[in-house]
Amino acid sequence: MTGSALLITDRDGVRTLTLNRPARKNAIDRPLWLTLRDTLTETGTDPSIRALVVTGAGGAFCSGSDLAAGDDTHPMYKVRLMNEVALLLHELPLPTVAKVTGVAVGAGWNLALGCDLVVATPESSFSQIFAKRGLSLDFGGSWLLPKLIGLQQAKRLALLAETIDAAEAHALNLVTWVVPQPEIDGFVDDLTDRLAAGPPIALAQTKALLNEGGDRTLREALAGEQRAQAMNFGTADATEAYAAFAAKRTPTYTGRWAAPRPSVNK
């Protein structure tokens, strides 16, 4: 499925969303924000999609929100729409990977940071550019940065609005892998194939537990883990994992609910 500003490609359970406004370095205008919101909503309810890649066309990832776009929508509604997209991405019940080539700036960088894993090329560059535009952080940056790198480094990147390269972003734990440009497509394909082959319910539970763990007490985290494991044991994947281990074969995970259903007498 394709669209003028967002290309959507599905392959063996892996969906790739490609921001397709290369003349604007894939800056996101209101129509594209709306398309992203609707596409992420649909993706989260499609059990055939097991992993998601977010990337950009034309040698850039995303230069942020398109401030030059003609749009007289009140800023409150603009930011509300962006917030909806940020939450959908964060809460998506499947692994997400940002494939970054070129610039990732402002909300564009936070779009990448909102994914579970980030793969970049050595030529990629990153900036929390907001202060240079007379703005403060948005698209989750004020929450993501301190969690990922601590408060002091987060303040440095946000207050100075410096541009850093992929090597420094990797050293700060803001990029998971740095891969040479000619190899990044194959690397991401292999990575997402591995993610898509995993047990979908268990991976969704693990992602949610990790996302929520930083804001919970140990007691609350343990209670969440208990509930998640009860759900996992109700799937066919738990039985399949043990059977595959015993047979020394690769498991095939479906996410199918296998717990016996109660009988109802009328």
Same structural domain for residues 88 and 129?
Answer: yes
Same structural domain for residues 225 and 179?
Answer: no
256 occurs within a structural domain: no
Per-residue pLDDT at 70:
64
User: Are 22 and 28 in contact, with CB atoms under 8 Å apart?
Assistant: no
Same structural domain for residues 205 and 192?
Answer: no
Assign 81 to helix, strand or coil.
helix
Residue 207 has pLDDT above 60, yes or no: yes
**Separation of alpha carbons 110 and 209, rounded Å:** 21
59 occurs within a structural domain: yes
In this prediction, residues 199-213 reach a mean pLDDT of 95
8-state DSSP, 52: E
Per-residue pLDDT at 79:
86
Provide the CATH number for the domain around residue 27: 3.90.226.10
Same structural domain for residues 29 and 58?
Answer: yes
Per-residue pLDDT at 242:
84
Q: Write out pLDDT tens, residues 208-255.
A: 999 998 888 889 989 998 989 898 989 999 999 989 999 999 999 999
Q: Write out pLDDT tens, residues 18-58.
A: 999 999 999 999 999 999 999 999 999 999 999 999 999 99
**Separation of alpha carbons 239 and 242, rounded Å:** 5
Q: Percent of the chain beyond pLDDT 70?
A: 96
User: Are 235 and 205 in contact, with CB atoms under 8 Å apart?
Assistant: no
Per-residue pLDDT at 67:
76
Same structural domain for residues 102 and 204?
Answer: no
Per-residue pLDDT at 264:
64
Provide the CATH number for the domain around residue 222: 1.10.12
Q: Write out pLDDT tens, residues 54-112.
A: 999 999 999 999 877 667 777 777 889 999 999 999 999 999 999 999 999 999 999 99
Residue 149 has pLDDT above 50, yes or no: yes
Same structural domain for residues 25 and 145?
Answer: yes
Same structural domain for residues 165 and 177?
Answer: yes
User: Are 199 and 230 in contact, with CB atoms under 8 Å apart?
Assistant: no
- The total domain count for the chain is 2
Same structural domain for residues 117 and 187?
Answer: yes
Same structural domain for residues 88 and 107?
Answer: yes
138 occurs within a structural domain: yes
**Separation of alpha carbons 177 and 187, rounded Å:** 10
Per-residue pLDDT at 1:
45
Q: Which domain holds residue 186?
A: 6-196
Neighbouring residues of 216: CB distance < 8 A, sequence distance ≥ 6: 224
Neighbouring residues of 60: CB distance < 8 A, sequence distance ≥ 6: 22, 25, 26, 101, 102, 103
Same structural domain for residues 70 and 190?
Answer: yes
Residue 2 has pLDDT above 60, yes or no: no
- Residue the block writes with tokens 């109660």: 262
Same structural domain for residues 109 and 188?
Answer: yes
